[in-house]
Structure 1
Amino acid sequence: MTRVLLVDDDVELASMLREYLEQEGFEAEVVHDGESGVREALSGRFAIAVLDVMMPRLNGVEVLRRIRAASRLPVLMLTARGDDIDRIIGLELGADDYVPKPCSPRELVARLRAILRRVADNSAESTSDGPIVVGPLRMWPERRSAQWQQQPLELTSTEFSILEVMARHAGRVVSKSDLSELAMGRPLARFDRSIDVHVSSIRQKLGARPDGDSWIQTVRGQGYQFVKA
């Protein structure tokens, strides 16, 4: 059974989510404070963590920061509905996705499964291909590892998936809708800025081209394009 860590100080909500997850075939454990969340997330016992942003003392953003300093454990953030700041900060720190609260347990499970499918990445396409090579970028999808200019490129699971899609389509525009479907495993929601934030983070990690432009170009009204060297 896939083990899920729930970190939320709302005892009633966490209990309800745990019960639903267990009905859906997951094994779920709950902790109600950020410090316990960090400790359990780094224990190696869980496949994924669900992390609430609004918690007393150590909030979810700081918990995520501490997790990312030591682990690539997939993390799904629970954010207040309409609070774009928390979502953007969470994604910039390496959250794999977010769900606004109040959320339906069914949506939460769908997002969890989408993330876990990406992490597993056991498709025939990924395991049968050699490395993807585009200019100074090399990616090994079966190992979920990448190099940039012959140096290790540290990417979150979602960043890796997004960059992989763009690298496979290098020189061509990939729409945000396609990136959401292919890389995040879900349709692009209206007003969803997740793709933009992840792409911005990838751009920062790649740096600028020799001519000063970005390796990932925004094509207005269409999507993003990874530029061939």
Structure 2
Amino acid sequence: MKKKILIVEDDDDIASIERDYLEVGGYEVKVEENGTAGLTEALTGEYDLILLDIMLPGMDGFQIVRKLRDKIDIPIMMVTARRSDIDKIRGLGFGADDYIEKPFSPGVLVARVKSQLAQYERLKGIGERRKKISIGGITLEPDTHRIFVRGMEKVLPNKEFQLLEFLMVHADVVFSRESLYTRIWGMDSLGNTSTVPVHINRLREAVEEDPSNPKHILTIWGVGYKFKP
């Protein structure tokens, strides 16, 4: 079956280019031009990936991704015409998996979409075969995609869950930002490794008693990150 992609984009020309190239790439595509309508359509649960513009009528992309992350767990890529890192960090902080800047090469867009879907399926399949992990008051259940911190269940977006699982499986091993990006996002030159510290900070907010003074998810300055048991 073809993977289904929802594009939420109010610029007809850009939406047409995205749709045409993705359809040629073998995907089934639907376009919504309004943010509110896009959110409603996304929540039907019929899509494998969402391509989401930031500036939209009705509801902007930041509001949409924040609402979606409470309901669904599929890759969300944000599209931005702004060069500001603040916008990218906001989008990633709200739960987006990746972003792409306008203007972009349609071929790069299709490659990024393909990579996100492949990585999601690969890690989902791996997760279904892994056993429960419990370290330092944190219990992670890959088969049910559930996490408990000191007895309380927490909800994590897909990328944060995958990142935490990887670090816990390799407890006490230090990984560079680049290594984590390649392993979790499945891309190298196609992406931006500044994604990693944003997700690390989100993980600390979720699992650490004092995120400003973490005991488990540590930064090893000049080297990378590790999970300390």
Check whether TM > 0.5.
yes
Deviations 1:108-128 (A, max 9, x none): 222222322333236775444
Deviations 1:79-103 (A, max 9, x none): 2252211111111111111112212
Match of 1:166 in 2: 167
In 2 relative to 1, CA 142–112 (structure 1 residues): closer, same or farther, beyond 3 Å? farther
TM-score by length of 1: 0.89
Match of 1:153 in 2: 154
Match of 1:177 in 2: 178
On the 8 A contact 2:69/2:157 being kept in 1, the answer is no
Match of 2:194 in 1: 193
Aligned partners of 1:123, 1:65: CA distance in 2, in Å?
22
Match of 1:129 in 2: 130
Match of 2:12 in 1: 11
Paired letter, 2:89 = I
Match of 2:89 in 1: 88
- After TM superposition, give the deviation of residue 179 of structure 1 in Å: 0.6
Question: Unaligned 5+ residue runs, structure 2?
Answer: none
Paired letter, 1:148 = V
Question: Unaligned 5+ residue runs, structure 1?
Answer: none
Aligned partners of 2:63, 2:130: CA distance in 1, in Å?
38
On the 8 A contact 1:118/1:161 being kept in 2, the answer is no
- After TM superposition, give the deviation of residue 54 of structure 1 in Å: 1.6
How many residues are aligned here?
227
Question: What percentage of residue pairs aligned between the two structures are identical?
Answer: 33
Aligned partners of 1:202, 1:28: CA distance in 2, in Å?
32
TM-score by length of 2: 0.89
Paired letter, 2:85 = D
Residues 1-229 of structure 1 aligned to structure 2 (within 5 Å) = 1-121=2-122, 125-187=126-188, 192-208=193-209, 212-228=213-229
Secondary structure of the residue that 2:143 maps to in structure 1? coil
RMSD: 2.3
Secondary structure of the residue that 1:133 maps to in structure 2? strand
Aligned partners of 1:175, 1:24: CA distance in 2, in Å?
33
In 2 relative to 1, CA 111–140 (structure 1 residues): closer, same or farther, beyond 3 Å? farther
On the 8 A contact 1:177/1:188 being kept in 2, the answer is no
Deviations 1:104-150 (A, max 9, x none): 22222222223223332367754443222322222233333322223
Secondary structure of the residue that 1:58 maps to in structure 2? coil
On the 8 A contact 1:41/1:73 being kept in 2, the answer is no
Aligned partners of 2:138, 2:155: CA distance in 1, in Å?
12
Aligned partners of 1:47, 1:65: CA distance in 2, in Å?
18
Aligned partners of 1:8, 1:190: CA distance in 2, in Å?
21
In 2 relative to 1, CA 146–120 (structure 1 residues): closer, same or farther, beyond 3 Å? farther
Aligned partners of 1:56, 1:184: CA distance in 2, in Å?
30
- After TM superposition, give the deviation of residue 45 of structure 1 in Å: 1.5
Secondary structure of the residue that 1:173 maps to in structure 2? coil
Aligned partners of 2:28, 2:92: CA distance in 1, in Å?
25
Aligned partners of 2:140, 2:66: CA distance in 1, in Å?
25
